[in-house]
Structures are given as structure tokens and as C-alpha cells.
Amino acid sequence: MKHFINLKDIPSKELKKIILDAKKRKNIRGNNNTLDTDKDYPLKGKLLIQMFEKSSLRTRLSFYIAIKQLAGGALTLRSDELHLGKGSESLADTAKIISTFGNAFMLRTDSDKKLQEFRKYMTIPIINGLSPSSHPTQVLSDIFTIEEIKKKPISKLLICWIGDANNNVINSLIEASVKFSFKLNIGSPRKYQPNKNLLKWAKSNNGKIKIFNDCIKAAKESDVVFTDKVISMNDNVNKEKKLKEFKNFKVTKTIMNYAKKDAIFLHCLPRGKEVSDEVFLGKQSKVWQQALNRIYVQKSILLYCFEKLR
Ligand code: CP
Ligand code: NVA
């Protein structure tokens, strides 16, 4: 049994195995209907319990479809419908019940501490479906999408991130840049630099990260341009003020023109004003393929947790 909480804690060999498995499985599957099961029925009879403390569209749908395609089933809980969410049952007892009724647990939470507490008490695999500090299933899936489109290992590409450099998605991207050895340029306002400890960790593990306070410099010659919402779900800030501070960090056609000619644009969604419609809906944007690929990578993440990767 294996947990999937932060990319940083998973050996790079294992992460690459997940990607490879997802590639094979997607190829074999072809154009089958959404809910048709894979012929090897790898998770037959297994129940994935997912719990959301925050909104979700893509993560919710893709985990549901992923476990169904693996021949298992899913049950989705809303934290405010549990005794735990109402404050009348302990986390330890909740974890014990989820562990005895279910076979894997996917949690989207507003507290990294809670994720660690669950990990302590769970006796089944726990998957981080987004926390304030990381979004590992999203970023692993994005690596899959990049390699699928670019047809080369991500280690041969220059990835650029424009926008808030201190949120869950960029944290996981920084961790991924170390695990998959790719170059990462970050363009963000001075006030919103990446987490210092994370950068220190990346540096001491041969990270190839460059930080710019100018998005043109960051985007220059890159193969992939990423951005994310300026205001994340856990952001307790003056929204208007923060949005103003990012007015020069919007991904526009001008920015894309500094990247390579065949560069692609990615965004995990949902989106705000950090990208122009022209880019988001334009030819270089691969956001719909990116969203759908969550299913394939989630499947291989589940198999990793059940130690069933081929
Ligand atoms: N990208 C992503 O995680 O989307 P949801 O918040 O809709 O799950
Ligand atoms: N950084 C965003 C990602 C949403 C999928 C948030 O946490 O709201």
C-alpha cells in the first residue's frame, strides 16, 4: 500500500512508472466508452471514497471515471455531511471507519495538517486531491499531457510558469521539475516568489529553476507556458489588491510570441483573468486535452497506491 500526498516524497523512478503505465493503458484502451472497464479488471471490487472540503469539477469526475474504468467503484462524500465536518466526531475515528469500509481515500482539503493527520490514522492509501500547499495529481497528469503532445521526455523541454509563484500548483510543479529534471522558468511579481524552503530543497537536489520578475524574460524560448488563478481557493487576501498586483503577469498573445513557435499553453482550470481568451481558446491552448488526461493518470496513480502498476 502506498500513499500519494506530495511529489517530493515519491521516488522519481516511481513517478516515471506511473506516467508510463498511463501511456500504455490509454493506448490499449483506444476509443472505448467512458465507463467501459479495462480488460484486466485490476481494481475489481475496490471502493474509492473521495471527500471534498472545497469545490471540484475535474478532480471529482476524473477520479470517479478512473476507478470505474479499473473495475472498482467510487463514493463521494461532502465533509459538511459528516459528523467530522460538523465537529462531532474525531478525525481518528472517521479515518478508522473510512479505512474499514473503503479501499482507498482521496481527500481535497483546506488543511495540510488534516491530510497528515488522516495519513497517520488511515490503513488504506490516501491520495491528495489538492491541499493549500500542493496539487500533485494535477501536475503529474500535466507532465503526461506535455510528453504526449511534444512526443519527447519533459527533461528535454523548457517549461515556463507565469503568475502566482506561491500556490499549490506551482509548488507541485517545482517538485516535479526536480523529479523529472526539467528546466523551469518562473515569472511572477517580486512579492509572490516561490516558497523559500521548497526552492532550497530544489536547489540542493539539482533543480534547474530560474526566477524572473518579468514574464517576457520567463517565457522566452519556452516549450510550454503555464498559468493558474491569481486567487486560489485558500487565498484569504484582499482580492482586488492582489489582482491589481498581477496586471502585468497575464498570459497574452504577446507573451506566447516570446515562447517557441510550437509552444503550448496549459491551465489546470478553473480560470480567471490571468490568461486572455485569445490564448485560452487559441490554437496553442491544450487545456481540454489536459483536463481529460486527468482520468488516465489518476488510473495509474490508483494502481500505484494499490501496488498494481505493471
Ligand atoms: N484542476 C482541478 O483540480 O480542477 P477542479 O478544482 O475542478 O477539480
Ligand atoms: N490554485 C488553484 C488550483 C485549482 C485547481 C486553487 O487552489 O484554487
- Torsion sign over Cα 107, 110, 112, 115: negative
3-state secondary structure of 158: strand
Whether 129 and 158 share a structural domain: no
What's the 205 CA to ligand 1 centre distance in angstroms? 29
Specify if 217 maps to a domain: yes
Identify the segments of the chain with pLDDT beneath 70: none
Specify if 192 maps to a domain: yes
Look at ligand 1, atom 6, and give the residue with the nearest C-alpha: 56
Q: Is the CB of 58 under 6 A from ligand 1?
A: yes
Q: Is the CB of 172 under 6 A from ligand 1?
A: no
Specify if 50 maps to a domain: yes
Q: Which of 112, 170, 195, 229 to mutate to test the pocket of ligand 2 (most atoms within 8 A of CB)?
A: 229
Q: Is the CB of 106 under 6 A from ligand 1?
A: no
Whether 230 and 89 share a structural domain: no
Measured CA to CA, the distance from residue 36 to residue 196 in angstroms comes to: 45
pLDDT at 120: 97
Which of these, 100, 172, 97, lies nearest to 140 by C-alpha position? 172
> Containing domain of residue 245, as a range?
136-291
- Residue 301 sits in a domain whose CATH number is 3.40.50.1370
Cell numbers representing residue 116 in the block: 497528515
Whether 143 and 264 share a structural domain: yes
Task: Decide if 160 contacts 219 (C-beta within 8 A).
Answer: yes
Cell numbers representing residue 102 in the block: 473503503
Cell numbers representing residue 197 in the block: 524552503
Specify if 1 maps to a domain: no
Whether 187 and 167 share a structural domain: yes
Which of these, 35, 2, 307, 231, lies nearest to 136 by C-alpha position? 2
Q: Which of 53, 56, 140 to mutate to test the pocket of ligand 1 (most atoms within 8 A of CB)?
A: 56
pLDDT in tens, 27-39: 999 888 899 999 9
Cell numbers representing residue 283 in the block: 490554437
Whether 105 and 192 share a structural domain: no
Measured CA to CA, the distance from residue 235 to residue 75 in angstroms comes to: 28
Q: What is the CB < 6 Å shell around ligand 2? A: 130, 135, 167-169, 228-229, 232-233, 268
Task: Decide if 127 contacts 294 (C-beta within 8 A).
Answer: no
Whether 301 and 249 share a structural domain: no
In ligand 2, which atom is closest to the CA atom of 132?
A: 7
Whether 156 and 74 share a structural domain: no
Which of these, 34, 45, 102, lies nearest to 69 by C-alpha position? 34
pLDDT at 107: 98
pTM here?
0.98
Instruction: Indicate the residue type of 73.
Output: G
Number of structural domains the chain divides into: 2
H helix intervals, the chain: 12-29, 58-69, 83-86, 91-101, 112-121, 136-150, 168-179, 196-204, 215-219, 239-245, 253-258, 277-280, 287-305
Whether 262 and 300 share a structural domain: no
Whether 91 and 151 share a structural domain: no
Ligand nearest, relative to CA of residue 172:
2
Whether 23 and 73 share a structural domain: yes
Specify if 188 maps to a domain: yes
Specify if 47 maps to a domain: yes
Whether 285 and 140 share a structural domain: yes
Measured CA to CA, the distance from residue 296 to residue 59 in angstroms comes to: 12
Specify if 221 maps to a domain: yes
Measured CA to CA, the distance from residue 245 to residue 297 in angstroms comes to: 35
Whether 117 and 166 share a structural domain: no
pLDDT in tens, 142-172: 999 999 999 999 999 999 999 999 999 999 9
* Residue 70, φ and ψ in degrees, nearest 5: -90, 5
pLDDT at 239: 96
Specify if 273 maps to a domain: yes
For the chain, the distance separating the N- and C-terminal CA atoms, rounded to the nearest angstrom, is 15
